[in-house]
């Protein structure tokens, strides 16, 4: 699934041609396109308030988009970007404009004719067509089939908020599927508008809702994080980095976990008014390389602790250990401290590699591993500020060149990883000996992100023990 920019979190219904054009120019000018942020998505409220035209076709609001939607797509494509749009599998969109339910064929043809590359497909005003996986599957499959029938490659991003076990069928018809209600700009704060608990099937859940915290979303997806597969991924919703409601450490943790879980990375902040600290989070190539790793699988949680962890003002405090396999044999490990106090966290190699065999049976446990800190080479604040504040694109390009920053347009992440580009591997900070333990100080509401690299001994032959299911999926 691609990454890019979506206007909803920062602007809501205040969309226009000018907003899309200036956002696209900012994506390119800030160098974000060359880090992999390729899509600019026009969310809800783009439609004419009068609904469909006399031929039953969707139409844009002329006062907002005077030159039409083909002008937008042509302009974005000329910048080397891709164009995303929005509709809902309901009689209306969430903002109460015309929806696509029972109009899938004609709407898909309209989207294709406008040159879109991605459709975010919501679930508001679904006319009661929910309640079982089959009912929801059929409702969304109608648009999936209609997009295929257009003959234009269009990514489908389902947004039914995790209802009706979408994690069990979303991969059959879409490139990504939302797993919870809408995110909001908080790390742990609970909110009644995020109405469901963290179980897979909550019989008392009346609405997936909005105002879901980063921690809530992590706890919700943990039970089925392994369902993300190459070509189809769980969508944890847009990024809140730079919106202002979280600390720098919270934003770093949020960004790294979304990346390592292979969620689509869609920036939700206003790129035209972004701080240097926010910019230096979203432009970290060592973290982005986790998201774009060719293996294409999410990290999974191997331990969660609640007891003995300092609680915050809402009575929340817990720690997590997440880990996951990478294409070149490396392992990513994230130590998350969602408690109210700094603490030392530990994870044994037996835990880290439990997916390859429980009880320390994984052959990986018998090897030594070098530990690489993936935030060690975060762009210096002065450099980030110079790029954000630069007057011209040429000035920004010169700063990037002097910083020797990674460019994924020139060298795709798969190639950079294969070639061992040091900019994608962080800084080596230590070694874990065979059978040993990873230890790190982790600040409150923060995460440490490590890439473990196996140290091969002279003459050693290492045979990886892989999941049968994993091996089959890669054939």
Q: Does domain 301-377+426-454 fall into CATH 1.10.10.10?
A: no
Q: What is the predicted pLDDT for the residue at 461?
A: 64
What average pLDDT does the segment 118-147 reach? 97
Q: How confident is the model at residue 470 (pLDDT cuts 50, 70, 90)?
A: very low
Q: What is the predicted pLDDT for the residue at 455?
A: 96
Query: Is residue 201 predicted with pLDDT exceeding 80?
Result: no
| 443-245-388-38 Cα dihedral, nearest 10 degrees | 100
Q: How far apart are CA 127 and CA 91, in angstroms?
A: 7
Tens of pLDDT, residue by residue over 60-105, are 999 999 999 999 999 999 999 999 999 999 999 999 999 999 999 9
Q: What is the predicted pLDDT for the residue at 471?
A: 41
Return the SS3 of 142.
helix
What average pLDDT does the segment 339-346 reach? 98
Please report where in the chains the tokens 């060359």 appear, as a residue.
34
Q: How confident is the model at residue 354 (pLDDT cuts 50, 70, 90)?
A: very high
Contacts of 285 (CB under 8 A, 6+ apart): 35, 405, 406, 408, 413, 423, 424
Category of 155 on φ-ψ map: left (φ > 0), alpha (ψ -120 to 50) or beta: beta
Q: What is the predicted pLDDT for the residue at 185?
A: 97
Q: How confident is the model at residue 209 (pLDDT cuts 50, 70, 90)?
A: confident
Q: What is the predicted pLDDT for the residue at 464?
A: 60
Q: What is the predicted pLDDT for the residue at 261?
A: 98
Query: Is residue 305 predicted with pLDDT exceeding 80?
Result: yes
Beta bridge partners of 457: none
What average pLDDT does the segment 134-142 reach? 98
Among 34, 33, 40, 32, residue whose Cα is nearest residue 15: 40
Length of the chain in residues, anyone?
Answer: 475
Among 307, 302, 303, residue whose Cα is nearest residue 324: 302
First-to-last alpha carbon distance for the chain, in angstroms, is 20
Q: What is the predicted pLDDT for the residue at 473?
A: 41
Q: What is the predicted pLDDT for the residue at 208?
A: 75
Query: Is residue 186 predicted with pLDDT exceeding 90?
Result: yes
Instruction: State the alpha helices, DSSP H only, in 98-202.
Output: 104-113, 133-150, 166-173
Mode of pairing for the β-strands spanning 176-178 and 155-158: parallel
Q: What is the predicted pLDDT for the residue at 309?
A: 97
Domain ranges of the chain: 3-292, 301-377+426-454
Q: Does domain 3-292 fall into CATH 3.20.20.70?
A: yes
Write out the catalytic residue numbers: 122, 182
Q: What is the mean pLDDT of the chain?
A: 94
Q: What is the pTM of this model?
A: 0.95
Q: How confident is the model at residue 457 (pLDDT cuts 50, 70, 90)?
A: confident
Return the SS3 of 289.
helix
Q: What is the predicted pLDDT for the residue at 2?
A: 79
Q: What is the predicted pLDDT for the residue at 463?
A: 62
Dihedral of alpha carbons 457, 460, 465, 470, sign: positive
Beta bridge partners of 98: 92
In the chain, what percentage of residues exceed pLDDT 90?
A: 91
Query: Is the CB of residue 445 less than 8 Å from the CB of residue 318?
Result: no
Among 186, 322, 158, 321, residue whose Cα is nearest residue 254: 186
* 239-272: b (≥16 Cβ within 10 Å) or e: bbbbbeebeebbbbbbbbbbbbbbbbbbbbbbbe
């Amino acid at each position: 699934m691609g990454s890019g920019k979506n206007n909803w979190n920062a602007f809501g219904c205040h969309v226009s041609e000018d907003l899309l054009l200036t956002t696209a120019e900012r994506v390119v000018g800030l160098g974000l396109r060359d880090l992999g942020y390729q899509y600019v998505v026009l969310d809800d409220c783009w439609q004419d308030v009068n609904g469909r035209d006399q031929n039953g076709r969707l139409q844009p609001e002329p006062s907002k988009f005077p030159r039409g939607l083909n002008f937008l797509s042509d302009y974005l494509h000329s910048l080397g970007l891709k164009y995303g749009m929005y509709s809902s599998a309901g009689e209306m969109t969430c903002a109460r404009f015309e929806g696509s339910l029972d109009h899938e064929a004609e709407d898909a043809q309209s989207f294709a004719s406008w040159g879109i590359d991605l459709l975010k497909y919501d679930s508001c005003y679904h006319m009661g067509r929910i309640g079982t996986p089959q009912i929801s599957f059929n409702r969304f499959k109608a648009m999936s089939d209609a997009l295929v029938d257009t003959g234009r490659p269009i990514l489908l991003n389902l947004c039914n908020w995790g209802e009706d076990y979408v994690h069990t069928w979303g991969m059959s018809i879409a490139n990504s599927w939302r797993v919870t209600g809408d995110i909001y700009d908080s790390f742990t704060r609970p909110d009644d508008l995020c109405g469901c608990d963290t179980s897979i099937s909550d019989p008392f859940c009346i609405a997936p809702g909005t105002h879901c915290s980063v921690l809530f979303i992590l706890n919700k997806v943990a039970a089925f994080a392994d369902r993300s597969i190459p070509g189809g991924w769980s969508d944890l919703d847009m990024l809140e980095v730079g919106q202002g409601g979280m600390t720098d450490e919270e934003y770093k943790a949020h960004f790294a976990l979304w990346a390592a879980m292979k969620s689509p990375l869609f920036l939700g902040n206003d790129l035209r008014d972004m701080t240097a600290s926010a910019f230096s989070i979203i432009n970290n190539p060592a973290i982005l390389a986790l998201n774009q790793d060719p293996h294409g699988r999410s990290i999974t949680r191997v331990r969660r602790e609640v007891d003995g962890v300092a609680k915050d003002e809402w009575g929340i405090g817990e720690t997590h250990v997440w880990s996951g396999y990478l294409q070149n044999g490396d392992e990513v490990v994230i130590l998350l401290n969602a408690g109210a106090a700094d603490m030392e966290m530990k994870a044994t190699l037996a835990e880290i590699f439990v997916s390859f065999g429980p009880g320390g049976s994984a052959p990986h446990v018998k090897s030594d591993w070098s530990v690489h800190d993936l935030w060690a080479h975060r762009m210096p604040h002065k450099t980030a500020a110079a790029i954000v504040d630069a007057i011209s694109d040429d000035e920004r390009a010169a700063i990037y060149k002097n910083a020797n920053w990674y460019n994924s347009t020139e060298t795709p992440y798969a190639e950079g990883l294969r070639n061992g580009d040091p900019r994608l591997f962080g800084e080596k900070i230590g070694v874990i000996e065979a059978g040993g333990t990873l230890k790190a100080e982790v600040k409150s509401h923060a995460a440490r992100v490590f890439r473990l690299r196996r140290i091969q001994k002279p003459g050693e032959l290492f045979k990886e023990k892989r999941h049968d299911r994993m091996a089959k999926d890669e054939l």
